[in-house]
Chains A and B, each alone.
Chain A
Amino acid sequence: MALYRDQAVVLHTWKLGEADRILALLTAGHGQIRAVAKGVRKTRSKFGGRLEPTCHVDVQLHKGRSDLQIVTQAESLDTFATLRSDPDRFAEASAMLEVVERLAPEGEGDRRRYDMLVGALRTLDRRPSPLLVPAFFLKVLAHEGLAPSLDACVRCQATEPLVAVDIGEGGVLCDGCRRGRPVSESALAVMRAVLGGHLATALEVEDARVCGEVDAVATDAVEYHLERRVRSRRVMEQA
Protein backbone atom coordinates (compact mmCIF):
# COMPACT_ATOMS: atom_id res chain seq x y z
CA MET A 1 0.00 0.00 0.00
CA ALA A 2 2.55 2.55 -1.12
CA LEU A 3 -0.14 5.01 -2.21
CA TYR A 4 -3.50 5.18 -0.47
CA ARG A 5 -6.42 7.50 0.16
CA ASP A 6 -8.11 8.39 3.39
CA GLN A 7 -10.06 11.19 5.02
CA ALA A 8 -8.38 13.23 7.70
CA VAL A 9 -8.49 16.20 10.05
CA VAL A 10 -5.28 18.24 10.36
CA LEU A 11 -4.46 18.35 14.09
CA HIS A 12 -1.17 20.20 14.28
CA THR A 13 1.54 21.44 11.93
CA TRP A 14 5.23 22.20 12.27
CA LYS A 15 7.46 24.04 9.82
CA LEU A 16 10.01 21.84 8.10
CA GLY A 17 12.94 23.18 6.14
CA GLU A 18 12.42 25.99 3.66
CA ALA A 19 8.81 25.55 2.53
CA ASP A 20 7.48 22.24 3.88
CA ARG A 21 5.37 21.32 6.85
CA ILE A 22 5.01 18.21 8.96
CA LEU A 23 1.35 17.47 9.68
CA ALA A 24 -0.22 15.44 12.46
CA LEU A 25 -3.36 14.01 10.85
CA LEU A 26 -6.21 12.10 12.44
CA THR A 27 -7.33 9.80 9.64
CA ALA A 28 -10.59 7.88 9.45
CA GLY A 29 -9.01 4.54 8.64
CA HIS A 30 -5.41 4.65 9.89
CA GLY A 31 -5.56 6.54 13.18
CA GLN A 32 -3.11 9.34 13.81
CA ILE A 33 -0.28 9.66 11.29
CA ARG A 34 2.58 12.06 10.61
CA ALA A 35 3.03 13.22 7.06
CA VAL A 36 5.05 15.81 5.15
CA ALA A 37 3.33 18.31 2.85
CA LYS A 38 6.06 19.44 0.50
CA GLY A 39 6.12 23.07 -0.60
CA VAL A 40 2.92 23.85 1.30
CA ARG A 41 4.24 27.18 2.60
CA LYS A 42 4.93 28.55 -0.89
CA THR A 43 2.25 30.93 -2.17
CA ARG A 44 1.88 28.83 -5.29
CA SER A 45 1.56 25.50 -3.52
CA LYS A 46 -1.04 23.18 -5.02
CA PHE A 47 -2.29 22.48 -1.50
CA GLY A 48 -3.22 26.13 -0.89
CA GLY A 49 -5.04 26.54 2.42
CA ARG A 50 -6.23 22.95 2.60
CA LEU A 51 -3.68 21.56 5.03
CA GLU A 52 -3.97 23.87 8.02
CA PRO A 53 -5.05 22.90 11.55
CA THR A 54 -8.84 22.19 11.71
CA CYS A 55 -9.03 21.44 7.94
CA HIS A 56 -11.07 18.35 7.05
CA VAL A 57 -9.66 16.82 3.88
CA ASP A 58 -9.64 13.87 1.53
CA VAL A 59 -5.95 13.05 1.12
CA GLN A 60 -3.76 10.80 -0.93
CA LEU A 61 -0.72 9.66 1.01
CA HIS A 62 2.45 7.88 0.07
CA LYS A 63 3.90 5.51 2.59
CA GLY A 64 7.57 4.92 2.01
CA ARG A 65 10.16 3.34 4.25
CA SER A 66 10.38 6.35 6.53
CA ASP A 67 8.05 6.97 9.49
CA LEU A 68 6.91 10.14 7.79
CA GLN A 69 4.42 9.67 4.99
CA ILE A 70 4.09 12.13 2.10
CA VAL A 71 0.90 13.97 1.19
CA THR A 72 0.56 13.80 -2.59
CA GLN A 73 -2.95 15.25 -3.06
CA ALA A 74 -5.56 16.96 -0.89
CA GLU A 75 -9.16 18.01 -1.47
CA SER A 76 -11.28 19.92 1.04
CA LEU A 77 -14.25 18.21 2.67
CA ASP A 78 -15.02 21.06 5.10
CA THR A 79 -13.27 24.43 5.26
CA PHE A 80 -14.84 25.71 8.54
CA ALA A 81 -14.77 29.36 7.53
CA THR A 82 -15.93 30.74 10.89
CA LEU A 83 -13.14 28.94 12.76
CA ARG A 84 -10.74 31.01 10.67
CA SER A 85 -12.48 34.30 11.24
CA ASP A 86 -13.05 34.09 15.00
CA PRO A 87 -9.95 33.79 17.22
CA ASP A 88 -11.95 32.48 20.21
CA ARG A 89 -13.52 29.70 18.19
CA PHE A 90 -10.12 28.91 16.72
CA ALA A 91 -8.77 28.53 20.27
CA GLU A 92 -11.68 26.22 21.16
CA ALA A 93 -11.05 24.12 18.05
CA SER A 94 -7.34 24.04 18.95
CA ALA A 95 -8.19 22.64 22.41
CA MET A 96 -10.09 19.75 20.82
CA LEU A 97 -7.30 19.08 18.31
CA GLU A 98 -4.68 19.22 21.07
CA VAL A 99 -6.49 16.61 23.18
CA VAL A 100 -7.06 14.28 20.22
CA GLU A 101 -3.41 14.61 19.20
CA ARG A 102 -2.39 13.45 22.68
CA LEU A 103 -4.96 10.67 22.97
CA ALA A 104 -5.09 9.08 19.54
CA PRO A 105 -2.43 6.40 19.02
CA GLU A 106 -0.46 6.34 15.78
CA GLY A 107 -1.51 4.01 13.02
CA GLU A 108 -4.57 2.54 14.75
CA GLY A 109 -7.84 3.47 13.02
CA ASP A 110 -10.82 4.43 15.19
CA ARG A 111 -13.78 5.61 13.16
CA ARG A 112 -15.82 6.64 16.19
CA ARG A 113 -13.12 8.99 17.52
CA TYR A 114 -12.70 10.46 14.06
CA ASP A 115 -16.45 11.03 13.63
CA MET A 116 -16.66 12.67 17.06
CA LEU A 117 -13.94 15.17 16.15
CA VAL A 118 -15.42 16.02 12.74
CA GLY A 119 -18.90 16.38 14.30
CA ALA A 120 -17.60 18.65 17.06
CA LEU A 121 -15.72 20.88 14.58
CA ARG A 122 -18.84 21.18 12.42
CA THR A 123 -20.96 22.15 15.41
CA LEU A 124 -18.36 24.68 16.56
CA ASP A 125 -18.33 26.17 13.05
CA ARG A 126 -22.10 26.46 12.77
CA ARG A 127 -23.66 26.57 16.24
CA PRO A 128 -21.12 27.20 18.97
CA SER A 129 -22.06 26.58 22.60
CA PRO A 130 -20.10 27.34 25.77
CA LEU A 131 -20.39 23.64 26.62
CA LEU A 132 -19.14 22.28 23.32
CA VAL A 133 -15.47 21.87 24.27
CA PRO A 134 -16.11 20.45 27.77
CA ALA A 135 -18.75 18.09 26.32
CA PHE A 136 -16.23 16.97 23.69
CA PHE A 137 -13.62 16.32 26.41
CA LEU A 138 -16.09 14.18 28.38
CA LYS A 139 -17.24 12.25 25.29
CA VAL A 140 -13.67 11.56 24.19
CA LEU A 141 -12.74 10.35 27.69
CA ALA A 142 -15.86 8.15 27.80
CA HIS A 143 -14.83 6.64 24.46
CA GLU A 144 -11.46 5.73 25.99
CA GLY A 145 -13.22 4.31 29.07
CA LEU A 146 -11.92 7.14 31.25
CA ALA A 147 -15.06 9.21 31.93
CA PRO A 148 -15.67 10.21 35.55
CA SER A 149 -18.35 8.17 37.28
CA LEU A 150 -21.30 10.46 38.08
CA ASP A 151 -24.17 8.34 39.41
CA ALA A 152 -23.10 7.42 42.94
CA CYS A 153 -20.39 8.39 45.43
CA VAL A 154 -17.22 6.64 44.25
CA ARG A 155 -16.27 5.92 47.90
CA CYS A 156 -19.44 4.86 49.68
CA GLN A 157 -21.93 4.33 46.82
CA ALA A 158 -24.42 6.80 48.36
CA THR A 159 -26.59 8.28 45.62
CA GLU A 160 -27.31 11.60 47.32
CA PRO A 161 -26.49 14.29 48.17
CA LEU A 162 -23.63 14.32 45.61
CA VAL A 163 -21.66 17.51 46.14
CA ALA A 164 -18.11 17.24 44.76
CA VAL A 165 -15.99 15.68 42.02
CA ASP A 166 -12.49 14.35 42.51
CA ILE A 167 -11.02 13.11 39.25
CA GLY A 168 -8.21 11.24 41.01
CA GLU A 169 -10.83 9.28 42.97
CA GLY A 170 -12.67 8.52 39.74
CA GLY A 171 -15.78 10.70 39.98
CA VAL A 172 -18.46 12.18 42.15
CA LEU A 173 -18.50 12.19 45.99
CA CYS A 174 -21.25 12.53 48.58
CA ASP A 175 -21.46 15.07 51.37
CA GLY A 176 -19.78 12.72 53.87
CA CYS A 177 -16.83 11.79 51.64
CA ARG A 178 -16.47 15.20 49.98
CA ARG A 179 -13.11 16.31 48.58
CA GLY A 180 -11.87 17.81 45.35
CA ARG A 181 -13.95 20.33 43.43
CA PRO A 182 -17.45 21.26 44.68
CA VAL A 183 -20.12 20.73 42.02
CA SER A 184 -23.80 21.63 41.80
CA GLU A 185 -26.69 19.27 41.05
CA SER A 186 -27.38 21.15 37.76
CA ALA A 187 -23.80 20.74 36.56
CA LEU A 188 -23.96 17.01 37.36
CA ALA A 189 -27.23 16.77 35.42
CA VAL A 190 -25.60 18.42 32.39
CA MET A 191 -22.62 16.04 32.51
CA ARG A 192 -24.92 13.02 32.81
CA ALA A 193 -26.88 14.29 29.79
CA VAL A 194 -23.63 14.65 27.79
CA LEU A 195 -22.52 11.12 28.64
CA GLY A 196 -26.00 9.60 28.48
CA GLY A 197 -26.72 10.38 24.85
CA HIS A 198 -28.57 13.69 25.33
CA LEU A 199 -25.79 15.87 23.97
CA ALA A 200 -28.06 18.16 21.94
CA THR A 201 -30.14 19.10 25.01
CA ALA A 202 -27.00 19.58 27.11
CA LEU A 203 -25.54 21.99 24.53
CA GLU A 204 -28.61 24.22 24.90
CA VAL A 205 -27.61 25.10 28.49
CA GLU A 206 -26.29 28.65 28.69
CA ASP A 207 -26.16 29.34 32.42
CA ALA A 208 -22.66 30.75 32.91
CA ARG A 209 -22.17 29.25 36.39
CA VAL A 210 -23.19 25.73 35.32
CA CYS A 211 -21.10 25.96 32.13
CA GLY A 212 -18.12 27.11 34.19
CA GLU A 213 -18.45 24.15 36.57
CA VAL A 214 -18.76 21.60 33.77
CA ASP A 215 -15.82 23.18 31.96
CA ALA A 216 -13.66 23.00 35.10
CA VAL A 217 -14.47 19.32 35.76
CA ALA A 218 -14.02 18.30 32.10
CA THR A 219 -10.70 20.16 31.80
CA ASP A 220 -9.51 18.64 35.12
CA ALA A 221 -10.45 15.18 33.89
CA VAL A 222 -8.75 15.48 30.53
CA GLU A 223 -5.60 17.02 32.05
CA TYR A 224 -5.47 14.32 34.74
CA HIS A 225 -5.58 11.53 32.17
CA LEU A 226 -3.23 13.21 29.68
CA GLU A 227 -0.88 14.04 32.56
CA ARG A 228 -0.32 17.50 31.11
CA ARG A 229 -2.11 20.79 30.72
CA VAL A 230 -4.27 21.64 27.72
CA ARG A 231 -2.41 24.73 26.53
CA SER A 232 -5.08 25.90 24.08
CA ARG A 233 -7.55 26.20 26.94
CA ARG A 234 -5.58 28.97 28.59
CA VAL A 235 -3.79 31.18 26.09
CA MET A 236 -6.80 33.30 25.16
CA GLU A 237 -7.77 33.80 28.80
CA GLN A 238 -4.61 35.70 29.66
CA ALA A 239 -5.36 38.66 27.44
Chain B
Amino acid sequence: MYADAVQQVIDELGRLPGIGPRSAQRLAFHLLETDPTDVERLTAAIVEMRSRVRFCTRCSNISEDDLCTICADTRREGSVLCVVEEPRDVVAVERTAEFRGRYHVLGGSISPIDGVGPDQLRIRELLARLEPEAVAEVILATNPNIEGEATAMYLARLLEPLGVEVTKIASGLPVGGDLEYADELTLGRALEGRRRLGGD
Protein backbone atom coordinates (compact mmCIF):
# COMPACT_ATOMS: atom_id res chain seq x y z
CA MET B 1 0.00 0.00 0.00
CA TYR B 2 2.85 2.37 0.91
CA ALA B 3 6.17 2.87 -0.83
CA ASP B 4 8.51 -0.01 0.05
CA ALA B 5 10.81 2.13 2.18
CA VAL B 6 7.89 3.40 4.28
CA GLN B 7 6.43 -0.07 4.66
CA GLN B 8 9.79 -1.36 5.82
CA VAL B 9 9.98 1.26 8.59
CA ILE B 10 6.40 0.48 9.63
CA ASP B 11 7.24 -3.24 9.83
CA GLU B 12 10.38 -2.64 11.88
CA LEU B 13 8.70 -0.23 14.31
CA GLY B 14 5.82 -2.68 14.67
CA ARG B 15 8.22 -5.22 16.13
CA LEU B 16 8.91 -3.02 19.15
CA PRO B 17 7.07 -3.85 22.39
CA GLY B 18 3.75 -2.08 22.81
CA ILE B 19 3.75 -0.76 19.20
CA GLY B 20 0.82 -2.06 17.16
CA PRO B 21 0.36 -1.60 13.38
CA ARG B 22 -1.51 1.70 13.82
CA SER B 23 1.09 3.22 16.15
CA ALA B 24 3.85 2.04 13.82
CA GLN B 25 2.14 3.79 10.93
CA ARG B 26 1.73 6.98 12.94
CA LEU B 27 5.39 6.97 14.01
CA ALA B 28 6.61 6.30 10.46
CA PHE B 29 4.62 9.24 9.11
CA HIS B 30 5.84 11.43 11.94
CA LEU B 31 9.43 10.53 10.98
CA LEU B 32 8.67 11.44 7.35
CA GLU B 33 7.55 14.88 8.39
CA THR B 34 10.43 15.46 10.81
CA ASP B 35 13.55 17.40 9.97
CA PRO B 36 16.12 14.97 8.44
CA THR B 37 18.80 15.96 10.97
CA ASP B 38 16.50 14.98 13.84
CA VAL B 39 15.98 11.58 12.25
CA GLU B 40 19.71 11.16 11.80
CA ARG B 41 20.29 12.03 15.44
CA LEU B 42 17.77 9.38 16.46
CA THR B 43 19.26 6.64 14.29
CA ALA B 44 22.80 7.56 15.35
CA ALA B 45 21.77 7.41 19.02
CA ILE B 46 20.27 3.94 18.56
CA VAL B 47 23.32 2.62 16.69
CA GLU B 48 25.66 4.15 19.25
CA MET B 49 23.73 2.65 22.17
CA ARG B 50 23.85 -0.81 20.64
CA SER B 51 27.55 -0.64 19.89
CA ARG B 52 28.69 0.96 23.17
CA VAL B 53 26.51 -0.59 25.83
CA ARG B 54 27.40 -4.01 27.21
CA PHE B 55 27.17 -5.77 30.54
CA CYS B 56 29.42 -4.90 33.50
CA THR B 57 31.86 -7.78 33.92
CA ARG B 58 31.39 -7.69 37.68
CA CYS B 59 27.69 -7.04 38.40
CA SER B 60 26.07 -7.55 34.94
CA ASN B 61 24.44 -4.13 35.05
CA ILE B 62 24.43 -2.31 31.72
CA SER B 63 27.64 -0.41 31.20
CA GLU B 64 29.76 1.40 28.63
CA ASP B 65 33.05 0.08 29.99
CA ASP B 66 34.25 -3.18 31.51
CA LEU B 67 32.94 -1.97 34.86
CA CYS B 68 29.69 -0.03 35.26
CA THR B 69 29.77 3.39 36.92
CA ILE B 70 28.63 1.93 40.25
CA CYS B 71 31.26 -0.83 40.32
CA ALA B 72 33.95 1.65 39.25
CA ASP B 73 32.99 4.19 41.94
CA THR B 74 35.45 3.72 44.81
CA ARG B 75 33.26 5.71 47.20
CA ARG B 76 30.61 2.95 47.18
CA GLU B 77 30.62 0.49 50.04
CA GLY B 78 32.01 -2.79 48.73
CA SER B 79 30.91 -4.92 51.65
CA VAL B 80 27.18 -4.65 50.92
CA LEU B 81 25.68 -6.19 47.79
CA CYS B 82 22.12 -5.63 46.63
CA VAL B 83 20.87 -8.49 44.44
CA VAL B 84 18.25 -7.53 41.83
CA GLU B 85 16.63 -9.27 38.87
CA GLU B 86 17.14 -6.75 36.06
CA PRO B 87 19.27 -3.65 35.29
CA ARG B 88 16.03 -1.62 35.51
CA ASP B 89 15.79 -2.61 39.18
CA VAL B 90 19.23 -1.07 39.81
CA VAL B 91 17.83 2.24 38.58
CA ALA B 92 14.78 1.84 40.84
CA VAL B 93 16.89 1.23 43.95
CA GLU B 94 19.32 4.03 43.01
CA ARG B 95 16.42 6.48 42.81
CA THR B 96 15.76 5.97 46.52
CA ALA B 97 19.25 7.36 47.33
CA GLU B 98 19.14 5.08 50.40
CA PHE B 99 21.69 2.55 49.26
CA ARG B 100 25.45 3.14 49.06
CA GLY B 101 26.66 -0.38 48.35
CA ARG B 102 27.09 -2.22 45.05
CA TYR B 103 24.74 -4.39 43.00
CA HIS B 104 24.49 -7.81 41.43
CA VAL B 105 22.06 -8.33 38.55
CA LEU B 106 20.76 -11.91 38.26
CA GLY B 107 19.18 -11.56 34.82
CA GLY B 108 15.76 -12.87 35.85
CA SER B 109 14.12 -15.04 38.49
CA ILE B 110 13.51 -18.75 39.03
CA SER B 111 10.48 -19.79 36.98
CA PRO B 112 10.40 -23.58 36.52
CA ILE B 113 7.42 -23.52 34.16
CA ASP B 114 9.37 -21.25 31.78
CA GLY B 115 12.44 -23.46 32.07
CA VAL B 116 14.39 -20.90 34.13
CA GLY B 117 16.25 -22.49 37.05
CA PRO B 118 19.27 -21.43 39.13
CA ASP B 119 21.63 -22.39 36.30
CA GLN B 120 20.07 -19.87 33.94
CA LEU B 121 20.71 -16.99 36.38
CA ARG B 122 24.02 -15.33 37.30
CA ILE B 123 24.22 -17.05 40.67
CA ARG B 124 27.65 -18.61 40.22
CA GLU B 125 29.00 -15.14 39.42
CA LEU B 126 27.44 -13.85 42.65
CA LEU B 127 29.10 -16.55 44.74
CA ALA B 128 32.42 -15.81 43.07
CA ARG B 129 32.26 -12.17 44.21
CA LEU B 130 31.77 -12.83 47.93
CA GLU B 131 35.34 -13.57 48.92
CA PRO B 132 37.43 -11.23 46.72
CA GLU B 133 35.17 -8.29 47.53
CA ALA B 134 34.90 -9.18 51.25
CA VAL B 135 31.11 -9.02 51.14
CA ALA B 136 29.56 -8.96 54.62
CA GLU B 137 25.90 -8.45 53.74
CA VAL B 138 23.76 -9.46 50.78
CA ILE B 139 20.45 -7.64 50.42
CA LEU B 140 17.95 -9.60 48.36
CA ALA B 141 15.80 -7.19 46.37
CA THR B 142 14.06 -9.55 43.95
CA ASN B 143 10.48 -8.77 42.94
CA PRO B 144 7.93 -9.58 45.65
CA ASN B 145 6.11 -12.04 43.37
CA ILE B 146 6.21 -15.81 43.61
CA GLU B 147 9.16 -16.25 41.22
CA GLY B 148 11.14 -13.48 42.92
CA GLU B 149 10.49 -14.96 46.34
CA ALA B 150 11.48 -18.46 45.26
CA THR B 151 14.72 -16.93 43.97
CA ALA B 152 15.32 -15.05 47.23
CA MET B 153 14.70 -18.17 49.34
CA TYR B 154 16.98 -20.21 47.11
CA LEU B 155 19.77 -17.63 47.43
CA ALA B 156 19.30 -17.34 51.20
CA ARG B 157 19.71 -21.11 51.52
CA LEU B 158 22.85 -20.95 49.43
CA LEU B 159 24.44 -17.89 51.06
CA GLU B 160 23.75 -18.35 54.77
CA PRO B 161 26.15 -21.30 55.27
CA LEU B 162 28.89 -19.16 53.75
CA GLY B 163 28.84 -16.79 56.74
CA VAL B 164 27.36 -13.83 54.87
CA GLU B 165 24.53 -11.87 56.45
CA VAL B 166 21.50 -12.25 54.19
CA THR B 167 18.66 -9.72 54.39
CA LYS B 168 15.59 -9.17 52.25
CA ILE B 169 13.90 -5.87 51.51
CA ALA B 170 10.65 -5.43 53.47
CA SER B 171 7.34 -5.98 51.77
CA GLY B 172 4.05 -4.50 52.88
CA LEU B 173 1.57 -1.82 52.05
CA PRO B 174 2.40 0.78 49.43
CA VAL B 175 2.56 4.37 50.65
CA GLY B 176 -0.71 6.11 49.82
CA GLY B 177 -2.74 2.90 49.46
CA ASP B 178 -5.92 1.75 51.18
CA LEU B 179 -5.83 -1.00 53.81
CA GLU B 180 -9.14 -2.49 52.68
CA TYR B 181 -7.77 -3.34 49.24
CA ALA B 182 -4.67 -5.10 50.54
CA ASP B 183 -4.58 -8.84 49.90
CA GLU B 184 -4.12 -11.19 52.87
CA LEU B 185 -0.54 -11.98 51.92
CA THR B 186 0.64 -8.38 51.71
CA LEU B 187 -1.23 -7.34 54.84
CA GLY B 188 0.12 -10.40 56.66
CA ARG B 189 3.66 -9.44 55.67
CA ALA B 190 3.05 -5.86 56.77
CA LEU B 191 1.86 -7.06 60.19
CA GLU B 192 4.78 -9.44 60.50
CA GLY B 193 7.24 -6.66 59.71
CA ARG B 194 5.57 -4.01 61.93
CA ARG B 195 7.82 -1.75 63.95
CA ARG B 196 7.70 0.42 67.02
CA LEU B 197 6.80 4.05 66.43
CA GLY B 198 8.96 6.70 68.02
CA GLY B 199 11.71 5.66 70.42
CA ASP B 200 14.67 3.56 69.24
Contacts and interface: CB of A to CB of B under 8 A. Distances in A.
Real complex partners, A and B? Answer: yes
A27 to B, nearest CB: 19
Interface in A32-61: 43-44, 46-50, 52-54
A44 B174 contact: yes
A48 B183 contact: yes
Contacts of A79: 184-185
A76 B115 contact: no
Interface size grouping (class) on chain B: 20 to 34
A131 to B, nearest CB: 19
Given A43-B174, A79-B184, A79-B185, A235 B149 contact: no
Interface stretch (B21-29, B32-40, B75-83, B116-124): B116-124
A42 to B, nearest CB: 9
Nearest to B151: A87
B51 to A, nearest CB: 28
Question: Secondary structure of the B side of the interface?
Answer: helix
B146 A50 contact: no
Contacts of B182: 48
Taking each of A76, A238, A239, which has the highest tally of chain B beta carbons within 10 Å of its own beta carbon? Answer: A239
Nearest to B144: A49
B107 to A, nearest CB: 15
Contact of A94 (B113, B149, B174): B113
Contacts of B144: 49
Contacts of B181: 46, 48
B117 A239 contact: yes
A48 B186 contact: yes
A234 B119 CA distance: 11
Nearest to A233: B112
A50 B145 CA distance: 10
Contacts of B18: 17-18
B178 to A, nearest CB: 9
